[in-house]
Homo-oligomer: A and B are copies of this chain.
């Protein structure tokens, strides 16, 4: 099973903690990497966030998140591009492995048009990411989020969107929660070789308590996270493995309990 040296705590798992608290928690539990969210970076301030993770000697596996390209007006789309440029600067300052993209969706834009807006948005931001040495990680989101969060819903589709760019510029972030159901997933993961920038684990609970805040801890649901780890490693990925769990019950649990459980499940089940 997975070694603790591979574990990265995605800050979404301990939503109530500040960056300082997350970093201190990682140190207490021997977790070497962390993934930071932009609303938390804004709370702490970028310079201070950089100082905290550097002082702790932690590696930043990703910054979450850029994206959110589709919008009905050109002005709104431009504002979102600008925000993505700021996200690229934050990922660069934190020396993150990648900036994760949740590409967005809009009830005011037909889905095919929204997908084109994502391609157009990427074309606008990739040159700046290249200049700052930041890799763009496209995360396919579960199809149940196609109406409100992301029109990028399949691994195949993410690979197609990444393909106009070099392997060092645009790649994929694969999260088992989003891709576990895909009947062709174990054919697509090998095709992602060279473009896997991140790998996330958690679980799919049955029944699901909530579409957004009902993700499960590994082992509590139906996903074979171990099989996915082996598949992404066979496809060449050897980087950090993020545990990212949006779950209200976990958020209401003391952070140190959550981290102890995360470490236990990660090292015995992933």
Contacts and interface: CB of A to CB of B under 8 A. Distances in A.
A154 B157 CA distance: 14
Nearest to A140: B183
Interface string A131-164: 0000000000011101110010110110000000
B110 A147 contact: no
Given A208-B211, A211-B208, A211-B211, A111 B147 contact: no
Interface residues of A, number: 28
A221 B204 CA distance: 26
A181 interface: yes
B181 A143 contact: yes
Interface in A149-205: 151, 153-154, 156-157, 180-183, 204-205
A181 B111 contact: yes
Contact of A221 (B147, B181, B207): B147
A142 B153 CA distance: 12
30 contacts: A107-B206, A107-B222, A110-B224, A111-B180, A111-B181, A111-B222, A115-B183, A142-B143, A143-B144, A143-B181, A144-B144, A144-B208, A144-B211, A146-B180, A146-B181, A146-B204, A147-B181, A147-B205, A147-B221, A147-B222, A148-B206, A148-B207, A151-B181, A153-B181, A153-B182, A153-B183, A156-B183, A157-B183, A208-B211, A211-B211
Contacts of A205: 147
A144 B147 CA distance: 13
Contacts of A224: 110
A182 B112 CA distance: 10
Contacts of A182: 143, 153
Contacts of A107: 206, 222
A147 B142 CA distance: 13
Nearest to A157: B183
Contacts of A211: 144, 208, 211
Counting chain B CB atoms within 10 Å of each CB, the highest count among A181, A182, A208, A211 belongs to: A181
Contacts of A207: 148
Top 8 A-B pairs, shortest CB-CB distance: A146-B181, A144-B144, A147-B206, A143-B181, A157-B183, A143-B143, A148-B206, A107-B206
Contacts of A146: 180-181, 204
